[in-house]
Amino acid sequence: MLIPVAMIAFATASSVGLLRDEAFGYVHRTSYIVGVPDAAVMSLRSIVPKGETLGFISDGNDPGAVGRRLYGATYSLVPLIVEKTANRRFVIGDFRNKASISIALNQYRLRFVEDLGNGFFLLASQ
């Protein structure tokens, strides 16, 4: 009988622990936005022509984090395709640091179009 008791004890302890963790996580949750906020997506659609492929540049150094931001932008803007390049008519800039915006504009010969929120900016080629 020890084995079923152990199974029940393990499952009960795990279940209670998970519920406690989730309750803690829920109480201390922070705002969670994936990619570009919905309101900015509407505005972007009025600027960017349908079927356009967008570029993507970032000031991030961690390839994993930059990848997540690229996929987040794609998720928000789909069916528009977002590619990791600066050589497009419209480019999504992902800037954690405001100072990098002007550097990127000069480096890639882009102009600022709109702040999309959540660290994303719509840029266009000059």
Partner 1 sequence: MTSVAAFISLLVPIIIGFAFVRTCIPGERHLCRHDWLRLYLGIGVGFGLCSCSFFVWLLTYGAAHVLYIAVEIGLAIMFGALAAYRATGCSLCKASMALETTLARWKHPLLILFGLIFLSACLSFALESRIYPEGQGDAWAIWNLRARSLFRGGEQWRNAFSGTLILSLPDYPLLLPGLVARSWIYTGTETQDVPVGIAALFTFATVGLLTAALSALAGRDKAVLAGIVLLGTTSFIKLGAAQYADMPIAFFFLASIVLACMQDQLPMSGAVLLGISAALAAWTKNEGLLFFALLLIAMKWTKQPVSRVLLGASCILALLAVFKVSLAPPNYLAQSGGIVIIRKLMSPSRYVLVAVGFVYHLIHFGGRRLNPLIPLGAALLLLKHTAKRGARSAAIILSGMCAGVSFVYLITPFDLAWQIAWSLGRVILQLWPAALFTCFYIIDFPPSPTAGLVFSSERPDGLRSGSASQTRRPLKYRINR
Buried b (16+ CB within 10 A) or exposed e, 73-86: bbebbeebebeeeb
Q: What is the CA radius of gyration of the chain?
A: 21
User: Using the rule CB under 8 A, is 31 a contact of partner 1?
Assistant: no
CB of 101 to partner 1, least distance (A): 25
User: Using the rule CB under 8 A, is 18 a contact of partner 1?
Assistant: yes
Please say which residue, 32 or 111, places its beta carbon nearer to partner 1. Answer: 32
CB of 10 to partner 1, least distance (A): 4
CA distance to 72, 78, 96, per residue, from 93 (Å): 13, 17, 10
Please say which residue, 17 or 98, places its beta carbon nearer to partner 1. Answer: 17
User: Using the rule CB under 8 A, is 65 a contact of partner 1?
Assistant: no
User: Using the rule CB under 8 A, is 52 a contact of partner 1?
Assistant: no
Query: Tokens 């480019």 belong to which residue?
Result: 91
